[in-house]
Amino acid sequence: PEPRSGADDQILQFIIERVCESKDQLFTEFRSLDSSMMGLLPKVVWSEAMLRLLEPLCDQVLTPALLDQLAERWGLTDPVGYVRFLHRFQIRGDGPVDDSSQPDLLRQVSSLRRQLV
């Protein structure tokens, strides 16, 4: 495999930051599309939702092809476990982890994830 360029790393970091900023909206959107409430979405539905919410924030950076590459890099399967996917995007400080400092929605996502796993 070819070594990744610094530009690729910058794009990845940019997308990760947008996912972190939009985590609550993404969870709400994914959950609304998950009629079975199993925490899984077909990859095409996940991709469409990601593009719908993140494309306006990513000004011509996020494309369907790039999202496919990122999904592969993140090891996502079809269907996508969206709770597990979102759980990886946590902003943590340097201090000890304290569950009471997590936002309520993040605690709910974590709880739902534990129930589904």
pLDDT in tens, 26-56: 999 999 999 988 899 999 999 999 999 988 8
Which is more confidently placed, 102 or 116? 116
Portion of the chain with pLDDT greater than 70, in percent: 70
Mean pLDDT of 52-65: 84
Global pTM value:
0.69
Confidence class for position 97, pLDDT limits 50, 70, 90: very low
What's the rounded mean pLDDT across residues 71-97?
Answer: 77
The pLDDT, as a whole number, for residue 28 is 92
Residue 18 confidence (pLDDT):
86
How distant, in Å, are the alpha carbons of 28, 40, 73, 105 from that of 70?
Answer: 21, 18, 5, 25
Q: Is the pLDDT of residue 100 over 60?
A: no
Could you report the per-residue pLDDT of 5-31, keeping only the tens digit for each?
Answer: 666 778 888 888 888 888 989 999 999
